[in-house]
Amino acid sequence: MRQFRWILLFPLVIGLLLPSVVHAQEQSLYWERFDVNIRVFENGDFQVEEVQKIVFTRGSFHFGYRNIPMDRLEDITDVEVWEGDRRYDSGRGGEYTYQTSTSDGDLQIRWYFPYTSDSSHTFTLRYTVKGGLRYYEDGDQLYWKAVYADRDFPVYDSTVTVDLPDGARAEPVAAYDTEASIAGRGTNRATFTAQETIEPGQEFEVRVQFPHGIVAGSEPDWQAAYDRRVLWEERYEGIVNLALGALG
């Protein structure tokens, strides 16, 4: 009897789930550009400005969102959302508003605009990161995942610019997970230009090191634990993999 009831309920469950699945499949977009400008302040904070030119190609859209992991920083403040010259107001779901929330260790910025389809929009997000630099005697470091991996659609062009305070020189510099050309080594402005399409699930992370003592601040609480984990991985991961291979 229970099996018979489940057979009767199964089409109903599928019927309830199917519209949401179909709706998700009907939406598509791409980033024509995803540029990021980072400015490091003398107090050790840095401002991030994301300029996202998004082309909505299929389906209707009403909001955008950005999840920022908080595991390698202490706080994010001074959030702003713009579309052209229009500044979004802090609110709860109304048109041209944004709201922030934290969940599972991430800060989410969610912004709302009038329903749109088959259109192009440029959104600018600005926020200040506190406790996000790494401090070492050999040189302080900025690491930032400028283009995040949690995307279902591609980014076709991206340039990341990092401005350092006067007297700071960017050396060494590096890009990770996305092939990029780098300009400005040895100056206080480093520019990273992606040389490939950044596919869904692919990151674009940059690293800029500069002499210790240029900016104020000290090692954040998360840094020691992070460094220990990296050191463990470097020392023991190869040994563990070798042992597992031998066992296999």
Confirm if 38 and 142 have CB atoms less than 8 A apart.
yes
pTM over 0.75: yes
What's the first-to-final CA gap in the chain, in angstroms?
Answer: 48
- Over its length of 248 residues, how does the chain's per-residue pLDDT go in tens digits? 444 444 444 444 434 443 433 344 589 999 999 999 999 999 999 999 999 999 999 999 999 999 999 999 999 999 999 999 999 999 988 999 999 999 899 999 999 999 999 999 999 999 999 999 999 999 999 999 999 999 999 999 999 999 999 999 999 999 999 999 999 999 999 999 999 999 999 999 999 999 999 999 999 999 988 888 765 665 566 555 655 665 65
Residues 6+ apart with CB under 8 A from 185: 170, 171, 172, 173
Cα 157 to Cα 178: distance, rounded to the nearest angstrom: 11
Handedness of CA 131, 136, 141, 144 (dihedral sign): negative
Residue with tokens 């296999």: 248
C-beta atoms surrounding 51 within 10 Å: 17
Q: What are the angstrom distances between the C-alpha of 231 and each of 72, 175, 187, 236?
A: 16, 20, 30, 8
